[in-house]
Amino acid sequence: MAQEHTSTAGHEEHEDTTTGLNHRKMLMWAFLGSDCMFFGSLIATYLVYQGKSLTGPLPIDVFDIPVTSVSTFVLLMSSMSMVLAYSALTRGNMKGFRIWMVSTAIMGATFIGFQVYEFSSFSTHHIHFECSEVAEKIEHGDYVKAGHDHFFQKECLDSNGLLKADHHVDEEYGLKPQTNLFGTTFFTLTGFHGAHVTLGVVWLLSIFFLSFKKGVITREKNLDVDLAALYWHFVDVVWIVIFTVVYLFGVFEGF
């Protein structure tokens, strides 16, 4: 009787469905396919507008690659602890399952914390430099960030176009969604990714708390964890694309 099996939340080895795959798992895969198009459209918008901003700040002005690398590392590690949680559950190790589950959620929350920090530091970004340093760079033909160049032209030169000696610049140069196309597309894309991670953390914590109720999450009834894990890995993979396309391509020349 197909109905009986499909109606329980259990995840049996052999589902009584046409393909033998569980309904909910198939739905999850279909949903992730759909979500690919969602992020695909957001990334496409970002790429279409890359380099089209009329004013700064630009990626190179605000990105701090070492910091974002750390948060990326944390998120990737959370995928590993998700795998460990699921594996502990299927071996019937409930304690291990709960520990890894909470670690995954904490690492997800840490990533969100980094993102909050990043968003606020971008929006209050300051530029400060010694005029003489930038002048030296220009003289040597070295690369000068657009923001530095902007304020150099504005503040470091006197009315005769000569360098003001010992002058230094300290200006607010914040990136908000309204500032330019980079701000608009960057905050929308990474914001929606952050929303996905946040939802994932809520989901993982819900399962964690439910697992204390007897018989809800067991070695055999592990489908809920399986589905959350699929979602979690997907969100991670999307971040790898965003980190590469937005952060790395945005900072390193030649891309």
Partner 1 sequence: MSTLSLAIPRPVHPSGLWNWLTTIDHKKIGVLYGVTAFIMFLSGGVEATLMRIQLTKPELDIVSAAVYNQLFTMHGTTMIFLAIMPLGAAFFNFVIPLQIGARDVAFPRLNAFSYWTFLAGAIMLKLSWIGGATDAGWFGYAPLTSVDQNPGKGIDFWIISLQVLGVASLAASFNFIVTIINMRAPGMTMMRLPLFTWMTFITAILLILAFPVITVALIELTFDRYFDFNFFNVARGGSVVLWQHLFWVFGHPEVYILILPAMGIVSEVLPVFSKKPLFGYTTVVLAGAIIAVMGWMVWSHHMFTVGLGPVANAVFTITTMLIAVPTGIKVFNWIGTIWGGSIRINTPMAFSLGFIAMFLIGGISGVMHAVSASDAQQQDTYFIPAHIHYVLFGGAIMALTSGIYYWFPKFSGKMFDEKMGMLHFWLMMIGQNVTFFPMHFVGLDGMPRRIYTYAEGMGWDLWNLVATLGVFILIAGFLVFILNMVKSWKSGPDAPGDPWDGRTLEWSIPSPPPEYNFSEIPVVKSLDDWWNTKQGGNGKAVPVSGGSGDEEHDIHLPQPSYWPLVTAIGLFIAAYGVVFNQLVVPWAIAIIGTFIGFVGVYAWSLEPVNDPDEDSAH
d(C-alpha 112, C-alpha 142), whole Å: 36
Q: Which is nearer to partner 1, 26 or 241 (CB)?
A: 26
* CA separation for the pair 108, 118 (Å, rounded): 15
CA–CA gap between residue 171 and residue 173 (Å, rounded): 6
Q: Which of residues 193-252 bind partner 1 (CB under 8 A)?
A: 206, 213, 215-216
9-48 residues near partner 1, rule: CB under 8 A: 9, 17-19, 21, 23, 26-27, 30-31, 33-35, 37-38, 40-42, 45, 48
Which x/- pattern, by CB under 8 A, does the window 169-188 give for partner 1?
--------xx-xx-xxx--x
Q: Is 190 in the site for partner 1 (CB under 8 A)?
A: no
Letter string b/e over residues 162-178, b meaning 16 or more CB atoms within 10 A of that residue's CB: eeeeeeebeeebbbeee
Output the smallest distance, CB 129 to partner 1, in A. 26
The answer to whether 94 and 225 have CB atoms below 8 angstroms apart is no
Q: Where does this chain touch partner 1 (CB under 8 A) — which range of 5-13, 91-99, 131-139, 147-155?
A: 5-13
C-alpha span between 9 and 78 (Å, rounded)? 26
Q: How far is the CB of 253 from partner 1 (least distance, A)?
A: 22
Nearer to partner 1, 159 or 178 (CB): 178
The Cα–Cα gap between 249 and 62 comes to 14
Q: How many CA atoms lie within 13 A of 138 on its CB side?
A: 15
Which CB atom, from 96 or from 177, has the smaller least distance to partner 1?
177
Q: Out of 12, 47, 52, 219, which residue is the one contacting partner 1 (CB under 8 A)?
A: 52
| Residue pair 150/169 in contact by the 8 Å Cβ criterion | no
Query: Does 6 interact with partner 1 (rule: CB under 8 A)?
Result: yes
- Beta-carbon neighbour count of residue 26 at 10 Å? 13
List interacting residues with partner 1 (CB under 8 A): 1-4, 6-9, 17-19, 21, 23, 26-27, 30-31, 33-35, 37-38, 40-42, 45, 48-49, 52-54, 177-178, 180-181, 183-185, 188, 192, 206, 213, 215-216
